[in-house]
Amino acid sequence: MLDLLSKDRIVNEAGLRAALHHLDAISTSGATVLQATVEHMLLSPHIFAYIISVWYRREAIISQIMTNFPTKSQEYPASIARKMLDNLSMYFLAFPAESLAMDVSKDIGRHSGFIEGALPVLCALNNMKISGTESDNGFVKKKVPQKMYKCNRLKGHTAIDTSLFVRLGVVVPLTSEAAASLSTHILAELKNALSFYLSLLRRTELAGDIKALLLQNAGKSAEDVAPEVSSTEDVESRTNRPSACEMVQSMKAALYFDNADGFGEWRILISTEVFKKLHEFHRADQKTFKIVFKKIKQLSNGHFSDDNHK
């Protein structure tokens, strides 16, 4: 029955009604069935976003998701909450900037950065072995010489990448109590981020954009099937197209470039991290975005200098 939630079905009214009727039927089926359904929808964030934006019984499933949010760092990596955060983070980074208030755009960028940095820190905390300041039974431990105490505290840090903590803006814990407190803080921030994203999906003023993104994505899926070439001229026009244009087409979808004018034939490879930064600049810092855009154009034309290749 999960095929009822495919893009091809829900883009038309009859298919959407059938999908929502199916969701109504399983909404009281228990956590296992709901989790499987949510995981299926998350295979395409556009589907999940659209369903949540139009389903009038969504509050029940949202309440269950938030209630079951991980409370221990060990639970987060394999949780449905983590999958939702990863997907919704990328989804809203590509959301039309003109439809969002400036403060919302900044929150999207802030949450995205925290989500990306939180997982490696939680995994590091899971692997850390730190001596606590008190025994598990509540009695104060026998006094230990300061030199030995410091040595014991640092044992767990020998294999820890402290840069992960710096990147997230938190301090490396020196005690088990501090590590537990940090885990609780990180999970609370992640839960807050998920609540934020889900609230955006329920905003009526964003419903049109959410549907447009679904239709646009469904159209792209259809375009993945290569059309028949009708003439030699078509073959030549495809073959002679500069490789930079292909790169710009994907960038255009996310960053709203009007066209590929000014780009040369050098192919510019952009990492996921840089791609996210470009999104953030496009939303919150147009001046910096235009500078970076200009540099990318220069590089695509082979204009290399001591600094622009960085």
Query: If you write DSSP's letter for every residue of 274-289 in order, what string do you get?
Result: HHHHHHHHHHH-HHHH
Q: What stretches of 224-271 show up as alpha helix (H) in DSSP?
A: 232-239, 243-255
> Is pLDDT above 60 for 41?
yes
* 188 and 46 share one domain: yes
- 134: helix, strand or coil: strand
Least confidently predicted of 57-61, 99-103, 216-220: 216-220
Of 213, 230, 263, which marks where a domain is finished?
Answer: 213
The more confidently predicted of residues 142 and 185 is: 185
Closest CA to 245 of 234, 259, 227: 259
For residue 304, what pLDDT is reported?
66
Least confidently predicted of 49-63, 141-155, 257-271: 141-155
For residue 261, what pLDDT is reported?
61
In a domain, 172, yes or no: no
Measure the CA–CA gap between 169 and 285, rounded to whole angstroms: 22
Residue type at 248 in one-letter notation: V
In the predicted model, what is the mean pLDDT of residues 204-214?
93
> Is pLDDT above 80 for 214?
yes
For residue 309, what pLDDT is reported?
52
In a domain, 143, yes or no: no
* 100 and 13 share one domain: yes
> Is pLDDT above 70 for 140?
no
Closest CA to 196 of 275, 120, 104, 128: 104
For residue 295, what pLDDT is reported?
80
pLDDT digit string (tens) for 228-256?
333 333 434 433 434 343 344 444 444 44
For residue 258, what pLDDT is reported?
46
Query: What Cα–Cα distance (Å) separates residue 199 from each residue in 48, 161, 279, 292?
Result: 13, 35, 21, 32
Mean pLDDT computed over every residue of the chain: 76
The residues facing 140 across adjacent strands are: 134
In a domain, 226, yes or no: no
Closest CA to 187 of 122, 242, 128: 122
The residues facing 190 across adjacent strands are: none
> Is pLDDT above 70 for 219?
no
* 56 and 205 share one domain: yes
In a domain, 128, yes or no: no
Domain extent for 206: 2-123+181-213
In a domain, 233, yes or no: no
Least confidently predicted of 40-54, 172-186, 252-266, 282-296: 252-266
Whether the CB-CB separation of 45 and 87 falls below 8 Å is answered with yes
* 282 and 209 share one domain: no
pLDDT digit string (tens) for 50-86?
999 999 888 888 988 999 999 999 999 999 999 999 9
In the predicted model, what is the mean pLDDT of residues 22-42?
81
- Using pLDDT thresholds of 50, 70 and 90, give the confidence band for residue 152: very low
Closest CA to 15 of 23, 24, 7: 7
In the predicted model, what is the mean pLDDT of residues 151-171?
73
Structure tokens given for 287: 């001046």
Q: How far apart are the first and last CA of the chain?
A: 50
The more confidently predicted of residues 36 and 258 is: 36
In a domain, 76, yes or no: yes
Count of structural domains within the chain: 2
In a domain, 113, yes or no: yes
> Is pLDDT above 70 for 8?
yes
